[in-house]
């Protein structure tokens, strides 16, 4: 559980999908012999995008494959994704594919490949699924709220200031000044975890993905 908490806290720093895939191989699933990881996302039109990967030779990261293309594949990943395999493992127990879900619906996949056949697939799968839940939540927050919030801002003519609390405005001001989370925590009297939580909410409200974009948006909208 400690590793999961550490992983979730790390996600609050907005790592890229490539960095997440690398961390799965080099850290979290390394004790089980993981050698490759890939994160894929299904789009509303059923196209499949490889958001990030580590260790695979194909180098398909950042590519988007139309529905008729990826559904025609006959390798283990595609067979599992299409439900043509009875379980999440391939027959050799060297590849595990876990669904990433959003509001109960499949919106992507986490693929893990191992150097050797896994001796305890049930245990390994349970650990991997714990990380997959965190990745699912991260991707849903990263891709969907920003899109919907941006649409609301345009449709309602909202500058963004009405969506932010006084606390969040203070934190945003600190971002513009280049202060770290620890500096803001000491200055405002909140814990570092509270600062991180509020920072995520600021990103969602302003439809941005990092501190630099948030500061730029704050200045352009005259929020501070």
Q: How far apart are CA 85 and CA 113, in angstroms?
A: 16
User: Quick check: 113 and 128 in contact, CB under 8 A?
Assistant: no
Residue 47 token pair: 């196209």
- Residue spans of the domains in the chain: they are 2-144, 158-220
Residue 61 token pair: 């990261």
pLDDT at 159: 46
pLDDT at 158: 47
Residue-wise DSSP of 133-159: HHHHHHHHHHHHHHHHHHHHHHHHT--
Say if pTM beats, i.e. exceeds, 0.85.
no
Return the closest-CA partner of residue 108 out of 38, 42, 165: 42
Give pLDDT < 50 ranges for the chain. 145-159
Q: How far apart are CA 84 and CA 168, in angstroms?
A: 48
The hierarchical CATH code for the domain 158-220 is: 1.10.10.10
pLDDT at 146: 40
Spell out the residues 6+ positions from residue 107 whose beta carbon is closer than 8 angstroms to its own.
Answer: 41, 42, 100, 101, 136, 139, 140
How big, in percent rounded to 5, are the helix, strand and coil portions of the chain? 55, 15, 30
pLDDT at 179: 87
Q: How far apart are CA 162 and CA 160, in angstroms?
A: 6
Task: Tell the CATH topology of 2-144.
Answer: Beta-Lactamase (3.30.450)
Helices within 51-120 (DSSP H only): 67-70, 76-81
Question: How many angstroms separate the most distant Cα atoms in the chain?
Answer: 58
């Amino acid at each position: 559980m400690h590793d999961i908490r550490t992983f979730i806290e790390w996600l609050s720093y907005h790592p890229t999908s490539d960095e997440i895939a690398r961390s799965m191989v080099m850290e979290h699933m390394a004790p089980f012999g993981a050698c490759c990881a890939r994160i894929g996302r299904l789009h509303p039109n059923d196209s499949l995008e490889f958001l990030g990967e580590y260790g695979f030779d194909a180098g398909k990261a950042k590519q988007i494959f139309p529905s008729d293309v990826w559904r025609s594949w006959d390798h283990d990943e595609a067979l599992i994704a299409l439900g043509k395999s009875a379980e999440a493992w391939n027959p050799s127990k060297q590849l595990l594919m876990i669904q990433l879900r959003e509001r109960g619906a499949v919106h992507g996949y986490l693929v893990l490949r191992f150097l050797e056949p896994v001796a305890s697939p049930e245990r390994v799968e349970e650990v991997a699924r714990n990380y997959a839940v965190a990745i699912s939540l991260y991707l849903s927050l990263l891709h969907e709220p920003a899109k919907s919030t941006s649409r609301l801002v345009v449709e309602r003519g909202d500058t963004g200031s009405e969506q932010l609390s006084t606390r969040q405005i203070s934190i945003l001001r600190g971002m513009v000044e280049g202060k770290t989370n620890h500096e803001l925590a000491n200055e405002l009297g909140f814990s570092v975890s509270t600062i991180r939580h509020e920072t995520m909410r600021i990103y969602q409200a302003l439809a941005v993905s990092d501190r630099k974009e948030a500061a730029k948006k704050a200045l352009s909208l005259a929020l501070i």
